[in-house]
Amino acid sequence: MQIDIQARGFELTDGLREHTKKRLSFATDWAHDELRTIHVRLSDVNGPRGGEDKRCLIQIPLVGMQDIVIDELESDLYVAIDKAANRMERVLSKRIERAREHPHASLKKHHTDNAAEALTDDAN
């Protein structure tokens, strides 16, 4: 699994990069077979003005499912990363569990649509 981390509005330190990788790796270790890439965008929304403006945006593309997008905004970037990682783990768990419970739902819909098209073609 590849973790792509980019910072906007400030320089990404080695400590921040390592913290982000550790938190995301820990949160997704159990799902490494389903994941190929995690995109992380860290930014300082208000710049030097301060406030709750440190953003951690996580995007996970999933094959055959809608992407997971988590956006956390906090005054401390480390807190934003931790909260985003926790939310990401919960959402990812639910998505993968649903996909495992209903593995052929999208295939059944596709098959049903094709069968309906075949019946329509035969009637004409």
pLDDT digits (tens, 9 = 90+) for 2-24: 999 999 988 999 999 999 999 99
Helix (H, G, I), strand (E, B) or coil at 54: strand
pLDDT tops 80 at residue 75: yes
pLDDT of residue 90: 94
Confidence (pTM) = 0.76
Is residue 114 over pLDDT 50?
A: no
24-65: pLDDT as tens digits: 999 998 887 778 899 999 999 876 666 668 999 999 998 878
Angle at 39 between CA 61 and CA 64, to 5 degrees: 5
Compute the mean pLDDT over every residue in the chain, rounded to the nearest whole number. Answer: 82
User: Please, which residues bridge with residue 58 across strands?
Assistant: 40, 70
